[in-house]
Amino acid sequence: MSRSGAAAEKADSRQRPQMKVNEYKENQNIAYVSLRPVQTTVLIKTAKVYLAPFSLSNYQLDQLMCPKSLLEKNSNNEVACKKTKIKKTCRRIIPPKMKTTSSKSESTRQYSSSAVHTESNKLQPKRKADAMNLSVDVESSQDGDSDEDITPGLDDFSGLSPYERKRLKNISENADFFASLQLSESAARLREIIKKRQPPKSKRKKPKRENEVGCRRSMRLLKVDPLGVSLPATPTPPTLVADETPLLPPGPLEMTSENQEDNERFKGFLHTWAGMNKPSSKNTEKGLSSIKSYRANLNGMVISEDTVYKVTTGPIFSMALHPSETRTLVAVGAKFGQLGLCDLTQQPKEDGVYVFHPHSQPVSCLYFSPANPAHILSLSYDGTLRCGDFSRAIFEEVYRNERSSFSSFDFLSEDASTLIVGHWDGNMSLVDRRTPGTSYEKLTSSSMGKIRTVHVHPVHRQYFITAGLRDTHIYDARQLKSRGSQPLISLTEHTKSIASAYFSPVTGNRVVTTCADCNLSATLFNLTSFKKYIVFLTRHNTFTGRWLTRFQAMWDPKQEDCVIVGSMAHPRRVEIFHETGKRVHSFGGECLVSVCSINAMHPTRYILAGGNSSGKIHVFMNEKSC
C-alpha cells in the first residue's frame, strides 16, 4: 500500500508543474464588492470555494480553528505535509487580537493590528504559491472522497481568496480609523453640553410697591373735588343725530322768496302770473312745418349775456317753460329742493329771479298745469308732490308718501285732476286730486326694478311709458294691478341704464330714449297692433360722469319729428336731431361755456332754455323776442 501511494504521489508531482490557475487580479479602486464565489480551475477538476460574510467582533476564537476534514481523509505522509501548509495559511489570514485554541498541539497567539499589516505586506509575493498549494490540497482531498463536493463550514478559512483576505484587511483598517476618531466620545460630550444648558428665565413683572408714588392724574378727570370726596355723576344728555335732509312739515307751505326782500315787487310778480290766461288751442294744434322752414327759424335763435341767469345754488334736475305767448317764464328744479322762477321780461334781470324752497331733496320733475297756467306742480325725491298756486301764494301738498321716494309724474287727464307717479323702487301710484287728503288711489308694483321717468301718451291718455334700468315699458292704466302689472309693449334696444323715455308731443307714435350706452333711439310703434319699428339709433356721447346731470332727450313740441339733447362736445352746444338720425341744428356761442344737461322748448314760440349743473340757465330766442 505504501508503494502504491508513493507511485501516486510521484504521478501527482509530475502533473503539478503543468497546472494552470486562474488567479484573481486585485484592483485597489474597486467600489463595488461582489459576494459570488471565485472559481479556480486546476487541470480538469474544479475546486469550489464557498464564502460566508462574518464580523470580526462576533466570531469566537474556537470558530477560527483549522478544519480537520482534510487531515482525516489523506494518508499519514500527506496529512503531515498538508497540516503544515494549512497552519501556515491560517496564520496568515488570522486577524489581529484574535486567539486560536486547539485541543491538540496548537499554541495561542495574539497579534496587534500593526503586526498583521506588516506581515501581510511581506507575504504578498507568496500569495500565488499559496493559492496553488491550496488548490492542490483541495484536489487531493476530492480524490479521496469519490469526486464529491465538500462544502466548507464557517470555520474553514483555508479556501479564502486573496480578495477576501484583502477585504478583511480593509475592514480591520477602517475599524481602527473610526476608533481613532473617537466619535462616541464626542457624541457623549455634546449630550452633556446640551443637558447643561438651562432654559431662558421668564421675565416676571415686578410687583408694585405700596409706598411707591404713581403718576399724577387730574382730579377733574377723576371726578373728585380737592377734598377727596367723589363728585356725583353728571347725566349726559342724549345726542340727537340731525338729519341732513329733514322732511318739511306736511300741509301747505307759504310761497316766500329766499332771494328777494322787496315784498311789493314779489306781489306784483305773483299778480302778473296769476292773471295769465290759458293759451289758445289754435296755436297748439299747428301741423308739422317743413325741415327748411324749421331750420330757418332755429338759425334765428341766439344767446347773449342778458339771457344767461344764475337761478339756484345746486345742479338743475328739471325744467319747464310757461306756455304764455306774451311773457317768458322759465321754471327750474334744483338738487337741494329749490324751485326757481325766472321772468325774462323783467328788467333788470336780477329782479326777475325768485327762488323758493318747497322740498328738502332734489326736484326731479316740473310741469305747468295744462288746465290752469297759474299752477306749477313739482315732484321731489323726498316723497312729496306739491302744487304752487300763484293766486294764493302757497305750495299745496297733493301727494305725500314718506316711505318711498318719487322719481317722475305726468297727467293722466287733460284737466290735470288725475296723476300717475313713478317711484324709484319700481312702484307706481294713481293719484286723484279731487279726493280729500294726500294719499293715493291705487298703488301697484311693476316688473321693473327702478323707474326713472313716466310719460303719458298725448292722444290715448290711458297709456303711459316708463323708463327703467334696462327696459322701457308701456302700460295701460286701466289694467294696473296691485301686484305684478304686466306691460303691453317692452322696448329692449339698450344694454345699459336708461335715463328717459318720452312720447312724441302730437301723435305719440314715436318714442325717444336716452341711455348710458351713448345711443339715442327713436322707435315708431302702433298701439292698435302693438308693433314697433326702430326709426333710428344714433351714437351720441351721453357719459356725463358723476358731477353732471344726466342727459334727457326731449321732443320739440312744435316739431314732433325732431329731438333736443345736450352735448359733451367742444365747444359746448345743444343739438337737435331729426328722427332719421341727421343733425338739424346746433346751438352754441361765446356765452355758452358749460354743458346743458336739461333742456326745454317753448310749446308755441322759438325759445329754448338749457340748464347746467351749477344752477345757471341759458336761453336761446329770436332777436325780436329779446
42-46, 320-324, 622-626: lowest mean pLDDT where? 42-46
Q: Count other Cβ atoms within 10 Å, centred on residue 286.
A: 12
Q: What confidence score (pLDDT) does residue 493 get?
A: 77
Q: What is the pLDDT of residues 586-623, one digit of tens each?
A: 999 999 999 999 999 999 999 999 999 999 999 999 87
The end-to-end CA distance of the chain, in Å, is 166
What average pLDDT does the chain have? Answer: 76
Helix H or strand E segment including 429: strand 427-432
Pick from 419, 397, 388, 421: which is nearest to 407 by CA? 421
- Banded pLDDT at 545 (limits 50, 70, 90): confident
Q: What confidence score (pLDDT) does residue 252 get?
A: 93
Q: What confidence score (pLDDT) does residue 519 get?
A: 81
- For residue 163, give Cα distances in angstroms to 19, 110, 127, 274, 379: 21, 23, 11, 133, 113
- Model pTM score: 0.61
Q: What is the pLDDT of residues 353-371, one digit of tens each?
A: 999 999 999 999 999 999 9
> Considering the domain boundaries, does residue 6 fall inside one?
no
312 φ, ψ to 5°?
-115, 170
Q: What confidence score (pLDDT) does residue 350 get?
A: 87
Q: What confidence score (pLDDT) does residue 200 get?
A: 65
Q: Is 410 exposed, middle or buried (0-12, 13-18, 19+ CB in 10 A)?
A: buried
Q: What confidence score (pLDDT) does residue 612 get?
A: 94
Whether cis (ω within 30° of 0) applies to the bond prior to 348 is: yes
What mean pLDDT is predicted for residues 517-537? 74
What mean pLDDT is predicted for residues 192-196? 83
439-453, 497-511, 518-532: lowest mean pLDDT where? 518-532
What mean pLDDT is predicted for residues 411-438? 94
Pick from 448, 564, 546: which is nearest to 505 by CA? 564
Question: Residue 19 above 90 pLDDT?
Answer: no
Rg (CA), the chain: 60
Helix (H/G/I), strand (E/B), else coil: 491? strand
Q: What confidence score (pLDDT) does residue 345 get?
A: 87
Higher pLDDT, 197 or 470: 470
Q: What confidence score (pLDDT) does residue 446 get?
A: 86
> Considering the domain boundaries, does residue 531 fall inside one?
yes
Whichever domain contains 535, its CATH number is 2.130.10.10
Give the pairing type, strands 316-321 and 427-432: unpaired
Pick from 549, 385, 410, 398: which is nearest to 467 by CA? 410
Q: What confidence score (pLDDT) does residue 225 get?
A: 75
Question: Residue 149 above 50 pLDDT?
Answer: no
Question: Residue 557 above 50 pLDDT?
Answer: yes
Higher pLDDT, 199 or 155: 199
- Banded pLDDT at 192 (limits 50, 70, 90): confident
What mean pLDDT is predicted for residues 234-240? 62
Task: Kindly tell me the sign of the dihedral angle through the C-alpha atoms of 413, 418, 424, 428.
Answer: negative
71 φ, ψ to 5°?
-80, -30
What mean pLDDT is predicted for residues 66-81? 44
Side-chain-facing half-sphere of 283: CA atoms under 13 Å: 11
What percent of the chain shows pLDDT beyond 70? 66
Taking the C-alpha atoms of residue 521 and residue 493, their distance in angstroms, rounded to an integer, is 8
Q: Which domain holds residue 584?
A: 289-621
Q: Which amino acid is at 69?
A: S
> Considering the domain boundaries, does residue 582 fall inside one?
yes
> Considering the domain boundaries, does residue 266 fall inside one?
no
What mean pLDDT is predicted for residues 440-444? 93
Dump strand ranges (E) for 170-322: 253-254, 301-302, 308-310, 316-321
Q: What is the pLDDT of residues 240-296, one digit of tens each?
A: 554 567 888 999 999 999 888 888 888 999 998 888 877 665 555 555 678 899 999
What mean pLDDT is predicted for residues 49-74? 46
Q: What confidence score (pLDDT) does residue 232 get?
A: 72
> Considering the domain boundaries, does residue 365 fall inside one?
yes
Q: What confidence score (pLDDT) does residue 577 get?
A: 93
Higher pLDDT, 79 or 164: 164
Question: Residue 36 above 80 pLDDT?
Answer: no
- Banded pLDDT at 135 (limits 50, 70, 90): very low
353 φ, ψ to 5°?
-105, 125
Pick from 2, 36, 34, 11: which is nearest to 139 by CA? 11
What mean pLDDT is predicted for residues 481-506? 88
What mean pLDDT is predicted for residues 104-131? 40
Nine-digit cell string for 193: 453640553
Question: Residue 138 above 70 pLDDT?
Answer: no
Q: What confidence score (pLDDT) does residue 226 get?
A: 73
> Considering the domain boundaries, does residue 131 fall inside one?
no
Q: What confidence score (pLDDT) does residue 16 get?
A: 45
Taking the C-alpha atoms of residue 105 and residue 585, their distance in angstroms, rounded to an integer, is 140
> Considering the domain boundaries, does residue 298 fall inside one?
yes
Q: Which residue has the cell 312739515?
A: 249
Q: Which residue has the cell 459570488?
A: 36
Paired strand residues for 341: 331, 354
Q: Which amino acid is at 423?
A: H
- For residue 130, give Cα distances in angstroms to 74, 87, 118: 19, 12, 18
Q: What confidence score (pLDDT) does residue 102 get?
A: 38
Taking the C-alpha atoms of residue 100 and residue 91, their distance in angstroms, rounded to an integer, is 10
37-51, 481-495, 581-595: lowest mean pLDDT where? 37-51
Question: Residue 70 above 70 pLDDT?
Answer: no
Q: What confidence score (pLDDT) does residue 425 get?
A: 92
> Considering the domain boundaries, does residue 460 fall inside one?
yes
The total of structural domains in the chain comes to 1
Q: What is the pLDDT of residues 152-166, one digit of tens each?
A: 444 445 678 999 999
Q: What confidence score (pLDDT) does residue 353 get?
A: 94
- Banded pLDDT at 110 (limits 50, 70, 90): very low
